[in-house]
């Protein structure tokens, strides 16, 4: 009887030890799921280091000669819009869909949105309430003089450049479009906060409206059912976005194309993903290889 008990105990503990080792091996076999690469750039214009989340398309090889369109995404942190935006580019570039060319997506992680995405306001109340605002000029200089050259040197981008921004990011894109339109070829402007400084940006007469403007520029403007803006003077997000679209449509240039998209089933919180999907379908009627 004792010998049977001893055998049973030995078999039990041997099996238990084997099971534990087996579980340990299974746990060790897990690997991180890698969506892209994390890079960083030291900015002199901004006086700080900025984190970049970068999606590289399937087949990307730094040793071949293929170059890719580059999309710059504001609010590009992992816990902001980078993951789902990069997913839309991946999905739409699948060979059986082929709606969007394989692209590099550069997500610019946020540090201070109000500082980076707004120009100075004349509204004293907002100056007091948001003291860090009004430095979009530095962020635009960062995009032009530092970020684009950095990406062009380190990654295999071609001359096609797209930029995506929502809310205050949409305000910044509108400012770039009005002041330095040649920085990008495609502007995806979603729910732009044009109420800033009581809509003063809408009163400008930018170069893109002139007949002599020759830079090929596509502009998508998407807005949901978003209602009143956070201002003392009543403004409506949908109305401002529509005014922007109509203003650009009045251009005499044959190089500028604008697409207005009203999404009544979305609001300021939910619009980003659906609007970006619509924008890709609108701005890329047929994909190209590079």
- Which DSSP helix (H) or strand (E) runs through 13? helix 2-28
Of 243, 194, 236, 244, which Cα lies nearest the Cα of 219? 244
Q: How many CB atoms are located within 10 Å of the residue 286 CB?
A: 8
Of 108, 166, 168, which Cα lies nearest the Cα of 136? 168
> What is the distance, to the nearest Å, from the Cα of residue 176 to the centroid of all Cα atoms in its chain?
15
> Would you write out the chain's pLDDT as a tens digit for each of its 290 residues?
455 554 444 444 455 455 555 555 556 788 888 889 999 999 999 999 999 999 999 999 999 999 999 999 999 999 999 999 999 999 999 999 999 999 999 999 999 999 999 999 999 999 999 999 999 999 999 999 999 999 999 999 999 999 999 999 999 999 999 999 999 999 999 999 999 999 999 999 999 999 999 999 999 999 999 989 888 888 999 999 999 999 999 999 999 999 999 999 999 999 999 999 999 999 997 654 44
Q: Which residues have CB under 8 Å from 70's CB, separation 6+? A: 103, 104, 105, 106, 151, 155, 157, 158, 160, 161, 162
Q: Distance between CA 262 and CA 197 in Å, rounded?
A: 24
CB 192 within 8 A of CB 219: no
Q: Distance between CA 17 and CA 131 in Å, rounded?
A: 63
Structural domains in the chain, CATH included, are: 37-283 (3.40.50.1820)
Please give the order of strands across the beta sheet that includes 256-263.
37-43, 48-55, 104-108, 68-73, 157-166, 186-190, 217-224, 256-263
Distances (CA, A) of 75 to 109, 174, 178: 6, 16, 21
What predicted TM-score, i.e. pTM, was given to this entire model? 0.89
């Amino acid at each position: 009887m004792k010998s049977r008990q001893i055998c049973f105990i030995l078999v039990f503990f041997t099996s238990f030890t084997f099971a534990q080792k087996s579980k340990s091996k299974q746990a060790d076999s897990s690997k991180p799921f890698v969506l892209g690469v994390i890079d960083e750039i030291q900015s002199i214009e901004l006086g700080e280091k900025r984190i970049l989340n970068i999606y590289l398309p399937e087949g990307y090889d730094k040793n071949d000669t293929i170059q890719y369109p580059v999309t710059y995404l504001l609010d590009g942190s992992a816990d902001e819009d980078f993951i789902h935006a990069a997913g839309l580019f991946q999905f739409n570039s699948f060979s059986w869909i082929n709606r969007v060319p394989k692209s590099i997506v550069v997500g610019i992680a946020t540090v201070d949105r109000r500082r980076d995405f707004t120009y100075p306001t004349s509204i004293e109340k907002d100056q007091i309430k948001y003291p860090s605002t009004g430095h979009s000029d530095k962020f635009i200089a960062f995009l032009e003089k530092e970020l684009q050259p950095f990406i062009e040197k380190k990654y295999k981008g071609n001359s096609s450049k797209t930029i995506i921004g929502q809310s205050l990011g949409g305000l910044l894109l509108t400012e770039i479009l009005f002041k330095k339109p040649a920085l990008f070829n495609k502007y995806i402007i979603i729910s732009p906060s044009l109420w800033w400084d009581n809509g003063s940006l809408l009163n400008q007469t930018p170069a893109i409206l002139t007949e002599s403007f020759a830079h090929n520029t596509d502009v998508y403007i998407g807005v949901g059912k978003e209602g009143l803006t956070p201002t003392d003077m009543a403004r409506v997000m949908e109305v401002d976005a529509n005014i922007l679209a109509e203003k650009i449509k009045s251009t005499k240039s044959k190089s500028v194309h604008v697409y207005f998209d009203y999404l009544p089933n979305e609001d300021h919180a939910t619009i980003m993903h659906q609007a970006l999907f619509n924008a890709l379908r609108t701005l890329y009627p047929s994909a190209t290889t590079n």
